[in-house]
Homo-oligomer: A and B are copies of this chain.
């Protein structure tokens, strides 16, 4: 039912784009449109057909997970795919230009030339991603529960963390908690960055020992049935220095401002601007070098983008992060990240971990 509804929406998009079929290769898109979770395969969707091509390893699994699809066995040699495509008598076949490699495109295109098939390959971008960006109630439910696991993990680590532990030890404590609380493999490597390491927005946990008085930035995520969550908090053990207090309040103010103002119809660029203005006016313009946030769902970074150059239009049902940060090389950094869902005239914050 869910899958057939998604396919219906995809087929409307195909009509809009004037193609009579699409080849889906991007893994999350493949899963979203079919329910098939294997690591390799293609969907071929036309107005009437829905075909899933995969190899020996996944045939049985594909039949179980994607009952609405005709499952077709191929080898990793893509020439196996072309007879199936030519059988459909398509004239314009869309493909995922943001995922298909140059080399794959080239091979596919040559196959059709050799067969003199009157088929044109049409590059398409973000088609399924735009469907995925707006969450169905069941998806929102999973993301909300994944966010809850993140909240619990943060509350748990606050009882465990102490000076003398290494970043790696803390990251592993968090990960263990998340997994034992029911999460699948974490959607990205847990970040625990302390002191100067917190100035690297994407630091990896190191053997550095945590000291009192310095920032400790923790960026964590959980995953349920494929759906991710994402949460960042920055804390300080012992007495924070004046920089921490100042920077923390600016970042929190910027984040709360964004949460208060963002609403449906804004572009990702506009949404980014409110927190950025707060940080700029506080004199830290250079220290906030990344975008305000990103969509979260089957991928931990997906549409929409909220950032300086994003023209994505925010619509109801989208789930994304709001995560301004200030990074000062040598000292450290502060980032505060919540997961939110857009509800017309306001965002609803899904994260509940404490910020003060």
Contacts and interface: CB of A to CB of B under 8 A. Distances in A.
Interface of A: 37-39, 55-58, 60-61, 75-77, 95, 97-103, 105-106, 123, 125, 172, 175-176, 179-180, 185-186, 189, 199-204, 289-290, 308-309, 329
Nearest to A97: B103
A98 B308 CA distance: 30
A202 B105 contact: no
Contacts of A309: 75-77
Contact of A201 (B57, B180, B290, B308): B57
Given A176-B176, A189-B185, A37 B102 contact: no
Nearest to A185: B189
A254 B309 CA distance: 57
Nearest to A188: B39
A103 B125 contact: yes
B102 A289 contact: no
Q: Which of A37, A57, A186 has the most CB of B within 10 A?
A: A57
Contacts of A186: 185
Name the prevailing secondary structure of the A interface residues: loop
Contacts of A176: 176
A75 B123 CA distance: 24
B101 A290 contact: no
Given A56-B290, A101-B98, A189-B185, A202 B123 contact: no
5 contacts: A55-B289, A56-B201, A100-B101, A102-B102, A102-B123
A289 B55 CA distance: 9
Contacts of A61: 200, 202-203
B98 A99 contact: no
B101 A106 contact: no
Question: Nearest 6 pairs between A and B by C-beta?
Answer: A56-B289, A97-B103, A57-B201, A97-B102, A102-B105, A57-B202
Contacts of A95: 102
A200 B64 CA distance: 11
A314 to B, nearest CB: 19
Nearest to A205: B184
Contacts of A185: 186, 189
A329 B57 contact: no
A291 B171 CA distance: 37
Contacts of A97: 101-103, 106
Contact of A123 (B60, B103, B172): B103
Contacts of A105: 102
A217 B38 CA distance: 18
